[in-house]
């Protein structure tokens, strides 16, 4: 990795349940700090499309209907971290998901003198999240977003933007499904939270506030942990 000998690129992990705003915040960090967001799904698709050695292995596994192993994901991540655009640092989204993966990631980063600078948990209030997500609707005509509690059309049943009268609600945006997703997230992520807390790398942010407030809090952590 050229240029990595003097400056060690920071590595951040964003943890948070569906609807916590990870994607939005990751994009803002990319713009502010030049960091690159690395999503596991995107990495796998790109490696397969580019025909890398690890990508070929992943393709064979996926075509067989099996889950891609941690070893293959780590190999794909190793290749991606060596790309020039990652020199300013990366934000990992969707990996690691288990403590075994976290340990493998630590070993990978150690190869280049890197480490997890911060594992940032976007904390939510589950009851409020159920209300936030399950109340979402979208105009079928123009895609304008509305909410049963927070943003209703000025005229009931009519889109403010295009005048359309057809509104859609995602099938999985119901209270029961959202609550189930949150429960599954907490069960899966609790060991990771503990892992990074013990390593002294965990930071927590209240993700129920305004987007800009959350972004400011995140930026402060990035500056502190990558200085």
Tokens of 69: 């192993």
Contacts of 9 (CB under 8 A, 6+ apart): 81, 86, 87, 88, 89, 90, 114
Which neighbouring-strand residues pair with 15? 121
Work out whether strand 11-15 and strand 167-168 pair parallel, antiparallel, or are unpaired.
unpaired
Contacts of 152 (CB under 8 A, 6+ apart): 146
Cα-based distances in Å from 161 to 69, 134, 153 = 46, 22, 9
pLDDT tens digit sequence for 70-83: 999 999 999 999 99
For residue 3, pLDDT beyond 80: no
Contacts of 81 (CB under 8 A, 6+ apart): 1, 9, 90, 108, 112, 114
C-alpha 113 chain-centroid distance: 24
pTM, two decimal places: 0.80
Residues labelled catalytic: 22, 97, 136, 170, 181
pLDDT tens digit sequence for 82-127: 999 999 999 998 899 899 999 999 999 999 999 999 999 999 999 9
Q: What is the mean pLDDT of the chain?
A: 91
E-strand ranges in 94-149 read 116-123, 136-139, 145-147
Exposed e or buried b per residue across 162-171, where buried means at least 16 C-beta atoms within 10 angstroms of its C-beta: eebeebeeee
CA triplet 71, 76, 79: central angle to 5 degrees? 125
């Amino acid at each position: 990795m050229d240029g990595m000998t003097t400056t060690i690129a920071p590595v951040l992990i964003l943890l948070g349940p569906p609807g916590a705003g990870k994607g939005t915040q990751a994009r803002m960090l990319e713009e502010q700090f030049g960091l690159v967001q690395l999503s596991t799904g995107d990495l796998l698709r790109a490696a397969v499309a580019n025909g890398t050695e690890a990508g070929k292995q992943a393709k064979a596994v996926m075509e067989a209907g099996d889950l891609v192993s941690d070893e293959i994901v780590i190999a794909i991540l190793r290749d991606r971290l060596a790309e020039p655009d990652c020199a300013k640092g990366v934000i990992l989204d969707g990996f690691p998901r288990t403590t075994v993966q976290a340990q493998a990631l630590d070993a990978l980063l150690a190869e280049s003198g890197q480490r997890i600078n911060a594992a940032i948990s976007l904390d939510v209030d589950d009851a409020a999240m159920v209300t936030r997500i399950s109340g979402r609707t979208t105009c079928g005509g123009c895609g304008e977003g509305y909410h049963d509690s927070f943003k209703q059309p000025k005229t009931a049943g009519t889109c403010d933007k295009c005048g359309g009268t057809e509104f859609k609600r995602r099938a999985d945006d119901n209270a029961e499904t959202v609550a189930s997703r949150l429960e599954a997230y907490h069960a899966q992520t609790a060991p990771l939270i503990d892992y990074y807390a013990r390593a002294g790398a965990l930071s927590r942010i209240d993700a129920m506030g305004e987007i800009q407030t959350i972004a400011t809090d995140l930026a402060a952590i990035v500056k502190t942990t990558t200085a």
